[in-house]
């Protein structure tokens, strides 16, 4: 491990495709029916399809109805009667801190805030923050999977500090301003162009997570105490990692069918098979095991494979057309 780390820590030689984005998140939940209801009525997803044979639900935007391949969120029922119903924070396990749903305009964050003020059971509420690059609202689902809903300020308003470092903070959200600016509409679910903007993970060791930098080729865009942020193409972050629940934590239970939590998240490269193959070769050259023996959950011809990070967090890499 040490040899691997030293060898790749020198590198800017590999840079991710500028088209790289988070595609979707696949969560294991203890009660599929309850989770679907929560993500529809509280968040505003549309059910694109249900695979009752495999206890899977595909959720996305209303405009994509019945196109499971465009799902932003896949919900996966854990084995009934065996689930361990607790947070990975309580379990002290690597995995999801939150996944973050990016709204295309600030007004939608205002409608969403008003909607949850009226409809969200307070036990699911976590907080709000202004991160300079973005404004965010945090909550969790019935299985304590963390969720952020946010909007970005314009990239021209972000401050870059040199060496690809972006200025991010955690300050109070100006709720009065947000609510008072947009009074004309109500929340009717996620609008067109909503996407999964980033994922934020609990990890055991920040240094090892430089793998996101050297192996996936993301820029290391910011450091907080106990947290690193990574992005492609001048975004503020597509992936963040933190050690805020400690460094002595269990590996991810991604492949344990009995535990709720993150099964995997997916990163997509759009359009360019050469970029996709270049990434695959780079991972293989650096001794990362490529798992291509997968069921294609999206039932389309996406080219994809899985890798695991050093904490067993599972990542699907896919090429979309
Ligand atoms: Zn976040």
* Per-residue pLDDT in tens (0 to 9) along the chain, 321 residues: 223 333 333 445 789 999 999 999 999 999 999 999 999 999 999 999 999 888 999 999 999 888 888 999 999 999 875 555 566 667 799 999 999 999 999 999 999 999 999 999 999 999 999 999 999 999 999 999 999 999 999 999 999 997 789 999 999 999 999 999 998 889 999 999 999 999 999 999 998 766 788 899 999 999 999 999 999 999 999 999 999 999 999 999 999 988 999 999 999 998 789 989 999 999 999 999 999 855 654 545 458 999 999 999 999 999 987
Residue 199 Cα to ligand 1 middle (Å): 6
Q: Can you read off the two tokens belonging to residue 312?
A: 């067993």
| Surrounding residues of ion ligand 1, Cβ less than 5 A | 100, 148, 200
pLDDT at 280: 93
Q: 137 with 149: CB under 8 angstroms? A: yes
**pLDDT value, residue 299:** 47
Q: How far is the CA of 285 from the centre of ligand 1 (A)?
A: 31
- Give the distance (Å) from ligand 1 centre to CA of residue 282: 28
Could you tell me the distance, in angstroms and rounded to a whole number, from the CA of residue 172 to the centre of ligand 1?
15
What distance in angstroms lies between residue 229's CA and the mean position of ligand 1's atoms?
10
State the pLDDT at residue 313: 96
Rounded Cα–Cα distance for residues 6 and 303 (Å): 31
- 287: CA distance to ligand 1 center in Å? 29
CA of 53 to the centre of ligand 1 (A): 33
**Cα(274) to centroid of ligand 1, in Å?**
30
| 146 CA → ligand 1 middle, Å | 9
CA–centroid distance, 241 to ligand 1, in Å, is 10
User: Strand pairing of 146-152 and 95-103?
Assistant: parallel
Residue 297 CA to ligand 1 center (angstroms) comes to 26
80 CA to middle of ligand 1, Å?
30
Measured in Å, residue 100 CA sits from the centre of ligand 1 at 6
How many angstroms does the Cα of residue 198 sit away from the middle of ligand 1?
Answer: 6
Between the CA of 149 and the centroid of ligand 1 the distance, in Å, is 9
pTM (predicted TM-score): 0.92
pLDDT at 162: 79
Set out the domains of the chain in order of their start, with CATH numbers: 2-320 (3.10.180.10)
Q: How far is the CA of 208 from the centre of ligand 1 (A)?
A: 20
pLDDT of residue 87: 64
Distance of CA 81 from the midpoint of ligand 1 (Å) = 32
Q: What is the pLDDT of residue 318?
A: 93
């Amino acid at each position: 491990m040490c040899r691997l780390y030293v060898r790749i820590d020198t590198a800017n030689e590999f840079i991710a495709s500028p088209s790289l984005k988070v595609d979707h998140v696949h969560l294991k939940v203890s009660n599929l029916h309850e989770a679907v209801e929560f993500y529809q009525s509280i968040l505003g997803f549309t059910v694109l399809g249900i695979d009752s044979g495999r206890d899977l639900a595909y959720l996305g935007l209303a405009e994509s109805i019945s196109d499971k391949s465009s799902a932003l969120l896949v919900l996966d029922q854990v084995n009934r009667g065996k689930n361990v119903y607790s947070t990975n924070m309580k379990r002290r396990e690597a995995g999801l801190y939150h996944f973050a749903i990016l709204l295309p305009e600030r007004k939608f964050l205002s409608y969403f805030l008003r909607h949850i003020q009226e409809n969200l059971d307070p036990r699911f509420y976590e907080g709000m923050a202004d991160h300079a690059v973005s404004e965010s609202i945090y909550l969790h689902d019935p299985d304590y999977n963390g969720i952020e809903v946010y909007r970005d300020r314009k990239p021209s308003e972000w401050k870059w500090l040199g060496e690809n470092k972006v200025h991010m903070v955690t300050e109070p959200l100006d709720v009065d301003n947000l609510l008072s600016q947009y009074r004309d509409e109500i929340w009717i679910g996620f609008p067109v162009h909503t996407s999964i903007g980033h994922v934020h993970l609990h990890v055991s060791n920040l240094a090892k997570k430089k793998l996101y930098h050297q192996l996936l080729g993301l820029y290391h865009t910011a450091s907080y105490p106990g947290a690193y942020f990574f992005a492609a193409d001048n975004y503020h972050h597509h992936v963040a990692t933190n050690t805020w629940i400690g460094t002595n934590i269990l590996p991810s239970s991604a492949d344990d069918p009995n535990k709720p939590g993150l099964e995997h998240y997916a990163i997509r490269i759009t359009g360019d098979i050469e970029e996709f193959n270049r990434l695959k070769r780079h991972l293989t050259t650096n001794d990362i095991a490529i798992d291509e023996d997968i069921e294609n959950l999206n039932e389309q011809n996406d080219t994809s494979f899985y890798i695991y990070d050093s904490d067993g967090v599972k990542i699907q890499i896919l090429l979309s057309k």
